[in-house]
Structure formats: C-alpha cells, structure tokens
Amino acid sequence: MHGTPIHDTVTFLRERFTRAPHAILVLGSGLGGLADEIEDAVRVPFDEIPGFPRRTQALAGHAGQLVAGRMNSVEVVAMQGRFHLYEGWEPADVALPIRALAALGAETMLLTNAAGGIRPGFVPGDLMIIADHLNLMFRNPLIGPTFPGETRFPDMSEPYDLAFRRAAAEVARDLRIPVTEGVYAGLLGPSYETLAEVRMLGRLGADAVGMSTVPEVLVASAIGVKCLGISCITNLAAGLGGQKLSHDEVMEVGARVRDQLAALVRGVLPRIAGSNLASEAAN
C-alpha cells in the first residue's frame, strides 16, 4: 500500500482519528442524521481527505463528511453521504473510502440506503434487511490490480453476513420495529427506472432497487469486512405508487423513519461488532 494514493489517505485519517474504528457506517440519502448519534465526534469533510474524489456539487441528503466517534460504546466511522457511480466517478473512487477505513482496522460495515420498493405490499417507510443483491450497474471496483489484503476472486454466496442479518431481525423484534428481508437491485442511475425495467426487476427476483451499496459491498467482500445492509423503502418503484417519483419524497420519508432506523442501528451495532470488542478486551 505504501507509495499508493490510498497510503496518503490512510496516513491522513490515522492522524485525524485517534482511535481505530470497529465498524464503518455508510449512510444513504436522507439517512445521514444517524451520524448525529455519534458521541465525541470528529468530523472531516470529504474534500479535505487526500485521495477522496472532489465533489463539484452537493447532493441533497449527503453531507459529504466522515464522522468518527462512539455509538452505543462501539468505535465507528460514519460516511455521512457517499460517492455514486452516476456522479461520474470510477468504481475505484466509490470504493476508496471503504478500503481506507478497513485499513484503519474496521472489520464490520453497516450500510443504509434509500430504495424503491418493488415487492407487492411494500409501503414508504418500510425497512428491509438486505439478504442479497443484483449487480445491474455492470461495473465492479475489483477490476484492475489487486490491492494488498484483497482476494482476487471473492466468494459472493453470502455478501450480507447471515449472523448479522439474524441479529438485526432479533433487535428489530425486541424493539417492535417491523422489518423484512429481501434482495436489493443496484442500478447505475441517475434516472429512475422505467415501468418495463421495474417489471423486469421483479421477475429477476428483486424486492427493492437503488443506485448505491453494491460497489461498497463488493470491495468489503474482497477485503474480508463483514456487511449488514438495511434499505429504507422511501418510495414505490415507477408504476407501483400511482405518482411521479422525486428525490424530495426520498428525503421526506427518510426523515420520517430516522428514529426507527437509528434505534435499530444502535441496537445491532454491539451485536455485529462483538467479535472486535471481545478481541480487544482479551488483549
């Protein structure tokens, strides 16, 4: 890693963050308010971090900064906002924050996103634990030279850790938060899907659709970072809700379910970061 752009990124972040993270939080559209739950927070804007893409415009709902600190006694670094392929970045750009934060010591990643519901019965505000995904972006951040510590051909039979998913379902049940499991389809965007595309996605087995998450999880799988993904169904996919789709609707629903999602994240974090905490205590 020494002498590469990511080396400069890791060196910079190690100087800014005095404690190594146990978990990475990736917060999607309208869900960045979860970072306000972090205690003793250190905030670093993306634009100050060497190697990070320089954003030319802000996307509503994405503050564009890293927030490091503690959430429910777990050391975390949250991405308050993320990079998207539809902004014009290369897959390696989108993946760089995950590679850098894993190099700081994180072994667990919890991702949230805003998604359109495809499965019949979904309503805006529902929460879906991601069981699997379809990569219909047809881009992969693992193309090219293999980074140190990464597997060239990662197994993708369980990109979202089964034990993490069970833990999330148990926490949700204890908190009386309705959740379901489903398959997330990642599309390139930025346009919403056509009616024909929504019908196709349903036939392919997708329960929800969005424009993120898949690149980060692909890199995490190669590094060995275990993942838990939670989609907030912020709207019904085209043709299913009887109204035009808009980013404003995504933001409004994200704000409405913030408290439930925050409670679920707080509750599940100690469960999925437990192996890291136990290892640290043993030392």
Listed residue (181, 157, 154) closest to 167, CA to CA: 181
Which residues in 195-226 are b (16+ Cβ under 10 Å) and which e? eebbbebbeeebbbbbbbbbbbbbbbbbbebb
The domain limits of the chain are: 5-282
Report the C-alpha gap between 188 and 86 in whole angstroms. 6
Residues 120-155 have pLDDT tens digits of 999 888 999 999 999 999 999 999 999 889 999 999
pTM across the whole model: 0.88
Q: Which residues are catalytic?
A: 29, 62, 84, 86-87, 114, 211-212, 235, 247
The pair of structure tokens assigned to 41 is 């927070």
Listed residue (179, 191, 271, 192) closest to 232, CA to CA: 179
Report the C-alpha gap between 203 and 107 in whole angstroms. 34
> Which class is domain 5-282?
alpha beta
189-201 mean pLDDT: 92
User: Is 246 labeled as ligand-binding?
Assistant: no
Residues 252-272 have pLDDT tens digits of 766 677 888 889 999 999 999
Contact 179, 127 (CB under 8 A): yes
Please report the sign of the dihedral spanned by the C-alpha atoms of residue 97, residue 101, residue 103, residue 104.
Answer: positive
User: Is 62 labeled as ligand-binding?
Assistant: yes
User: Is 29 labeled as ligand-binding?
Assistant: yes
User: Is 170 labeled as ligand-binding?
Assistant: no
User: Is 84 labeled as ligand-binding?
Assistant: yes
